[in-house]
């Protein structure tokens, strides 16, 4: 073999080896991706089952509680589920919050879709307690009411939102989530952050549960009550809560005050489930509507994050 032919054969052999190495590397990389993808799918299915189990656990505790008594308080089992439970290489945590301890934004309209003046006053009280502009209430009502006429003062309807750089229309329907407040004219992010822990958006009107509410919301519900008075009253709340509204109204601090829009039982709860397993994690939260009578109820809203 001539020297030039030998050199060509050597270069060809090296090229074949290089191409084979590239192909093998590509195959190994693809195999690694396939294995990772399969692992993610298996882990995702497993985490979904854990989340579903956590939700079912919370639901069963709430249903059992429903048949044990006629009122709901922070002394009950559903309010104590937040202790993490160990899993193989991880943990699961379930939290339940009574959403009727908050002010329901959809209470601002009555069952016929008209403005509820008593609830408007309570909401304005809430804004005042939080040191927010009480005129924000008007723009919030315009967001959910059916008409196109801005309320005064501080109202805003489609003609105001359509002038924005990124225009949109008012919902003209009840809130689906309290996060919609960020779309309402005049509400800044810092305003929302102050307000959000004390409000909710439930699919039906309902009373504020005095056994699970906060001093901030209670001060808004009772006309003329200060935050300090509400704090002192809830600090003295019975360990197991008020069994009925009459016992709550009998408190000395309420003498001479009108007490409306409050109750001692709840139907809507926020259920949050967080699962961690190795480097994987997933979370889901949803609003559970506990049934009435013999109905068991179920989730009316869910959102999930992670794996």
173 and 201 Cβ atoms separated by less than 8 Å: no
Same fold, 3-100+267-306 and 113-199: no
Residues 6 or more apart whose CB falls under 8 angstroms from that of 41 comprise: none
Q: Quick one: pLDDT at residue 32? A: 63
Cα gap 122→130, rounded to integer Å: 12
What pLDDT, on the 0 to 100 scale, is given for residue 23?
72
Domain boundaries, the chain: 3-100+267-306, 113-199
Looking at domain 3-100+267-306, does it have CATH number 3.30.1300.30?
A: yes
Residue 37 is predicted with a pLDDT of 66
- What does the pLDDT read at residue 247? 95
pLDDT, residue 172, reads 94
Summarize pLDDT for 100-121 with one digit per residue, the tens.
Answer: 999 999 999 999 999 999 999 9
The topology (CATH level 3) of 113-199 is Ribonucleotide Reductase Protein R1; domain 1 (1.10.40)
Q: Which residue stretches of the chain have pLDDT < 70?
A: 1-7, 30-32, 34-40, 42, 293-294, 304-307
| Per-residue model confidence (pLDDT) at position 203 | 94
DSSP letter string, 86-127: EETTEEEEEEEEEGGGSEEGGGGB-TTS-B-HHHHHHHHHHH
Provide DSSP, 182-213: GGSTT--HHHHHHHGGGEE--SS---EETTT-
């Amino acid at each position: 073999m001539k020297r030039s032919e030998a050199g060509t054969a050597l270069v060809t052999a090296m090229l074949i080896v290089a191409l084979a190495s590239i192909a093998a590397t590509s195959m190994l990389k693809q195999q690694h991706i396939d294995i990772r993808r399969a692992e993610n799918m298996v882990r995702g299915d497993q985490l979904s089952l854990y989340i579903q189990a956590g939700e079912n656990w919370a639901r069963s505790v709430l249903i059992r509680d429903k048949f044990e008594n006629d009122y709901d308080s922070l002394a009950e089992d559903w309010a104590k589920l937040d202790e993490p439970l160990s899993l193989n290489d991880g943990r699961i945590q379930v939290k339940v919050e009574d959403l009727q301890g908050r002010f329901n934004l959809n209470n601002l309209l009555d069952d016929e879709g008209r403005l509820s003046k008593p609830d408007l006053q309570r909401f304005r009280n809430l804004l005042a307690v939080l040191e927010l502009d009480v005129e924000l209430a008007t723009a919030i009502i315009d967001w959910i009411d059916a008409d196109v006429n801005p309320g005064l003062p501080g109202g805003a309807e489609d003609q105001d939102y359509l002038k924005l750089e990124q225009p949109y229309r008012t919902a003209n329907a009840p809130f689906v989530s309290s996060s919609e407040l960020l779309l309402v004219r005049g509400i800044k992010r810092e305003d929302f952050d102050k307000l959000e822990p004390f409000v909710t958006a439930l699919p039906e009107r309902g009373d504020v549960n005095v056994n699970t509410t906060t001093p901030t919301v209670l001060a808004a519900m009772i006309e003329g009550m200060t935050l300090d008075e509400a704090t002192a009253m809830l600090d003295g709340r019975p360990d197991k809560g008020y069994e009925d509204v009459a016992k709550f109204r009998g408190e000395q601090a309420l003498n001479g005050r009108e007490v409306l829009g409050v109750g001692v039982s709840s139907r809507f709860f926020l259920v949050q489930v967080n699962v961690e397993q190795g480097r994987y994690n997933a979370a889901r939260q949803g609003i559970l509507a506990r049934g009435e009578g013999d109905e068991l109820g179920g989730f009316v809203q869910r959102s999930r994050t992670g794996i």
